[in-house]
Amino acid sequence: MLGLQALEKTGKPKDGGEVLPSRQTGNERRTILVIDDEVALLAIIADVLEENGFIVLTVADGPAGLELLRSDRAIDLLITDIRLPKGMNGREVAEAARMTRPDLKVLLMTGYAGSALDGGPLAGGMEVMTKPFNLIRLADRVTRLIES
């Protein structure tokens, strides 16, 4: 579960972008950054991925995610919602991150199937998953993306 000390009474991460690290640690495992402004969805995704052996970082908006992606923190996969608050959508975050991490794998999540392609075709290593999705399929897809 996400670190409850980092949540305000509203259920939102403080300042909309505090990193909520997984409770598991280990340098040998892969690290996934998940960006979504729905705190409940972040918690569910983090739990599923942690149960599958991944280290999971979560933030609630694009600028906070991009700050992490521009750091020297190891991140093997970005999972982001397309629609995000604070002026950047998920695709913009992914494209900006790839300027410094050109091989970053990306899984875009959306409840609106066409919105991921608004900016044209996706680059290699970028995929879309439409909400709602099966959590087992999410874990399988994440594993496949990371290993590809």
The answer to whether 81 and 53 have CB atoms below 8 angstroms apart is: no
Q: Kindly state the DSSP code that residue 141 receives in the 8-state scheme.
A: H
Domain boundaries, the chain: 4-147
For every one of its 148 residues, what pLDDT tens digit does the chain have, with 9 covering 90 and above? 333 333 333 333 444 444 444 333 443 589 999 999 999 999 999 999 999 999 999 999 999 999 999 999 999 999 999 989 888 999 999 999 999 999 999 999 988 765 555 666 677 778 989 888 889 999 999 999 998 8
- CATH architecture observed for domain 4-147: 3-Layer(aba) Sandwich (3.40)
Q: Answer yes or no: pTM beyond 0.75.
A: yes
- The alpha carbon dihedral of 98, 100, 101, 107 has a sign of negative
**Residue 102: C-alpha distances to residues 15, 45, 89, 93, 130 (Å):** 29, 25, 19, 13, 24
If residue 98 lies in a helix (H) or strand (E), which one and from where to where? Answer: helix 90-100
Q: Which residues contact 102 (CB under 8 A, 6 or more apart)?
A: none
